[in-house]
Chains A and B, each alone.
Chain A
Amino acid sequence: MNEILNLLTGLAVGLNLLALGTSRLRLLIRAVAAQGVLLGLLPLLLEHGAMDWQLVFITIATVAGKGFIIPTLLHRAMRTANIARELEPFIGYISSLLLGAAATIAAVVIAQHLPLFPEHVGSLLVPGAIALILTGFILLIGRTKAISQVCGYLILENGIYLFGLLLIHATPMLVEFGILLDVTVGIFIIGIIVDRIQRAFDSLDTRKLTALHE
């Protein structure tokens, strides 16, 4: 079981690099959606004995939310906003990739210094989670388009979800609550769509959100 788990987590971390290195929003959204589906399947692998209805619920809700509903909304927002690329990021693509690689290495180092249960020591859960959280922050800070920032937030949220899997047997509730973060993301995107319809600002460029300053 642990090998499959590590394989899926490893793939999810690999998708980070794809998300960091692309300027095309469509590809970015796909990468984040694929990451969501990969991670959504993990609770089923962590199951030791009988199928638990809570685990099934978490799996279905996560895969549906992160893999289908949110990406669909994001595509819709992209079409209404009529943009396909992130053209002028604060942090360039090569630098983002290098930062992402550094974050992944840092994640492994940090995870080695954390006291873990024996069954978590060999798994990629903790380093994967830290890598995803750091990557999410790089995207949140380094991109200017609202849609890219939402994708960064999603990766951050995926990392927290992965972290929560450590507790899935003891307190599954915390993992379930994490689904509420998806609702937050939903509100972000609906905000973008509604705003496009109201045409309050033109290019979805958050740098233009500067009427409010000192």
Chain B
Amino acid sequence: MGVSPSGRDRLVQLLTSDGVRREHPDFNYDGDLPSVAELYRQMVLVRRVDTEGFALQRHGELGLWPPSLGQEAVLVGGAAALGPTDFVYPTYREMLLGWLLGVSISDLLSVWRGSSHGGWDSHRHRFGPMSIVIGSHPLHATGHALGLAMRGQSDSAVIAYFGDGASSQGDVMEAIELAVLQQVPVVFFCQNNQFAISHPVARQSAVPIVQRADGFGLPGIQIDGNDVLACHAVTQAALKQAREGGGPTLIEAITYRMGPHTTSDDPTRYRDAAEVESWRARDPIDRVRAYLATEGWEPAFFDDVDREAEALGESVRAACLAIPEPDLAAWFDNVYAEQTGELRSQQAEYVAWRQQYGGVA
């Protein structure tokens, strides 16, 4: 099962929105039913964390939250498809994929609470810093993959996630071009959620984003981004091909941002409720539940997952409130690996000024 250009001929869907399995000539989900149930569980948990993040913003505990509601299949399918040493370059929309890889919820929330700019151990969790400047990080993925290739490290690949909005950025084009020319092990994964804040994808790209693969000379696969089985199968195949020296792949996952761009956004100004409703029928979680039910999966499982999700939601809130306050004095230590005298001097100046007013030394 290779990633060939033939995959571009039609959207890869392995599970319909009604929960019916479909065959595809090139891609196949090879997990068993318990594995599907685990994907379901993870999607429910991711959605619960996301919902809690949204609520925490509304309660004033977070400054901002970029929801991933409706896009859980990409995150969960992607995380499950990663090999043990594959590395992810995310945007904020894939934040909870990092949680699935072991980044603590506190480290993720602290960005939106105004307590840090990230700070997790990217190597340990195989999860790079979240790109906030749209489209800047696929280049880092290309460079990382070039490094793997130069070291002859054929057991690892890199995946860069970006949105339809980022597909307009020149850096994304340069990343793809450089990766194709060097045939390095990287997968470019575009989450087309239909909007760059308010700008619809039809006004961002004159052709389907996947079609750009032709011009760059790499395989392009369009998948149902709300189908976790397709997300898993295609991501896994593309990563495997990359590891085996087959070069990069462009995946375009067709999905929909059910929520606002961030908690500061008001999507009612630019899209119809009817359109949102039509996508609700294609929900990534409901279809897996329907499929599992059809297959006779134990009904109590769904209740157990819901209970686990509720407890998780409470723990997310507790973790948020327990995030330590940042210290501006310590911030000076984090600019250079080799601190400069100038910054040491400004740091001392700040600490002395703060002490004058009874602040912490």
A and B found bound together = no
| Chain B contact residues, CB within 8 Å of chain A | none
A interface residue numbers (CB < 8 A to B): none
